[in-house]
Amino acid sequence: MRPVLLASLLSSSLCAVACDDPVSPDPVSPSNTSAPERATAGSVAASSPALVASSSAPTPSTPPVPAPPADAVGKLSQGSNAFGFDLYDRLKKKPGNQIFSPFSITTALTMTWGGAKGETADQMKTVLHLQGTPAEVMSTSGKLALSLEDKSRPITFRIANQLFGEKTYKFEQAYLDQTKTAYGAPMELVDFIRGPEAARVRINGWVESETEQRIKDLIPKDSIKEDMRLVLVNAIYFLGDWESPFEKDRTRSAAFFKTEKDKVDVPTMHQAGSFNYAKQDGVTALELPYKGGDMSMVILLPEKVGGLEAVEKSLDAKKLGDLVQGMKKERVNAAIPKFEVAPAESLSLGETLIEMGMKTAFDRKKADFTSIANPPSLDDRLVIGKVFHKAFVKVDEKGTEAAAATAVLMPKAGSAPVQLIDFKAEHPFLFFIRDAKSGLVLFMGRVADPSKT
């Protein structure tokens, strides 16, 4: 089973300026970071005020939210999926379970790309497989988010975006307006300079609240320093019941072969029914729809116990799309293990994104995000410092719960850091006292035991 593909598959299946005065937007009131009631399928808790109404308000009977034009959505989904496979090609090297959300990462980085210029923007566009201008892409992304969050659907899917900016820093109003309009991403002013740790706790608390406490400690301790000026955050949450739930009394322990010689017994769900199914090129595909049929989980199972690596090498976004398109309804006796993937640590994606070609955005001397902020001093301009991502998924007889969050940390560029070379005088050494101008050695000696005089 391949839980790592969940977020990418969710996305693919849905497709079938300068200002002289400091900007002072109204800061968003801090979210309640205490653990909320767990949402149930069909319920929607509070999220970004521009996208989701407060859970305390009565839920109106609303018509389905129209999706943006299909061709625009297709380009956006193709790009996000392609980026997801490019990223997984690097993440798969780490053994064990994996889970990440290409959609969340793409959204956070696309918000950042919206304020980039020149080579910085070009490289980000290429790595993220974006098609169109920033205004076009961001508009489509925002409209797609609204349609995905459609309250008329019998599942819960929430997307929240937020900017956390240093309260003394000048941001470009045009950029703030653009991200708020397209993504429902308001600016909350925080004190990075005097309270970097408090700001980190605040941001992580916002993420926890937006993901039903499933994503905790997205930004690790000591990751935010006094030079931080902007953090862009995306959070998504999904909760959906299977269209055809598995009966709990049919769940029983069964062998799961990690390798041909290494097996473990795990609780395994069983169900016989009519499902979309395909078998080709050494892989069997099964689609499990959620209530309403708008979202589903696609499971790709190699025919051989040790065949996962070969499947990973050959699979890409296009092949996945072709495989899904080729599915047909078949009667299937499905046996699926219950599973939960909840990494303790966030993925730090900075080095990986640089390797993928997003170099200039991380370069303190070359990064150009002057559409976000354009201070007169080059040392005060923005650069991407780090990108953190964390995701979660749980699958049981009733359905699936999943969450993810991505944070793009943007400090001021400052002076380029100096690479330090270790020098430890921890064994006998010689010393010379000399005249720098003439080169004349005035004293010389050797230290063999510093404890002796």
User: What's the whole-number mean pLDDT along residues 219-244?
Assistant: 95
Contact 86, 94 (CB under 8 A): no
Residue 144's beta-bridge partner residues? none
User: What's the whole-number mean pLDDT along residues 277-281?
Assistant: 88
pLDDT at 206 over 90: yes
Nearest to 237 by CA among 268, 263, 269, 206: 206
pLDDT in tens, 386-424: 999 999 989 899 999 989 999 999 999 885 555 555 656
pLDDT in tens, 6-47: 333 333 333 333 333 334 343 333 333 333 333 333 333 333
Contact 251, 268 (CB under 8 A): yes
Q: What is the C-alpha separation between 164 and 439, in angstroms, rounded?
A: 55
Q: Residue 430 has what pLDDT?
A: 62
Q: What is the C-alpha separation between 246 and 337, in angstroms, rounded?
A: 11
- CATH class of the domain at 248-338: mainly beta
Between residues 330 and 9, which one has the greater pLDDT?
A: 330
Res. 447 pLDDT band, cuts 50 70 90: low
Q: Residue 284 has what pLDDT?
A: 85
- CATH class of the domain at 3-239+341-411: alpha beta
pLDDT at 52 over 60: no
User: What's the whole-number mean pLDDT along residues 47-61?
Assistant: 36
Q: Residue 12 has what pLDDT?
A: 38
Res. 255 pLDDT band, cuts 50 70 90: confident
Q: What is the C-alpha separation between 297 and 311, in angstroms, rounded?
A: 18
Average model confidence (pLDDT) for the chain?
81
pLDDT in tens, 341-365: 899 999 999 999 999 999 999 999 9
Return the amino acid letter for 277. Answer: Y
Res. 303 pLDDT band, cuts 50 70 90: confident
CA dihedral 219, 221, 227, 230 (to 10 degrees): 20
pLDDT in tens, 153-171: 898 989 999 999 999 999 9
Where are the domains positioned within the chain? 3-239+341-411, 248-338
Q: What is the C-alpha separation between 45 and 1, in angstroms, rounded?
A: 30
User: What's the whole-number mean pLDDT along residues 66-86?
Assistant: 87
Write 182-185 long-range contacts (CB < 8 A, 24+).
Answer: 182/114, 182/138, 182/139, 182/141, 182/142, 183/107, 183/111, 183/138, 183/141, 183/142, 183/145, 184/48, 184/49, 184/50, 184/51, 184/142, 184/145, 184/160, 185/48, 185/50, 185/111, 185/161, 185/232
> Burial level of 369, CB count in 10 A (0-12/13-18/19+)?
buried
pLDDT in tens, 146-157: 888 888 889 898
Where is average pLDDT lowest: 38-42, 99-103, 124-128, 429-433? 38-42
pLDDT at 178 over 70: yes
In terms of residues, how long is the chain?
453
Q: Residue 148 has what pLDDT?
A: 87
Q: Residue 61 has what pLDDT?
A: 53
Contact 170, 371 (CB under 8 A): no
Q: What is the C-alpha separation between 202 and 353, in angstroms, rounded?
A: 26
Where is average pLDDT lowest: 48-57, 102-111, 388-397? 48-57
CA dihedral 269, 270, 276, 281 (to 10 degrees): 80
Percent of the chain with pLDDT over 90: 47
Strand 156-166 and strand 228-241: the pairing is: antiparallel
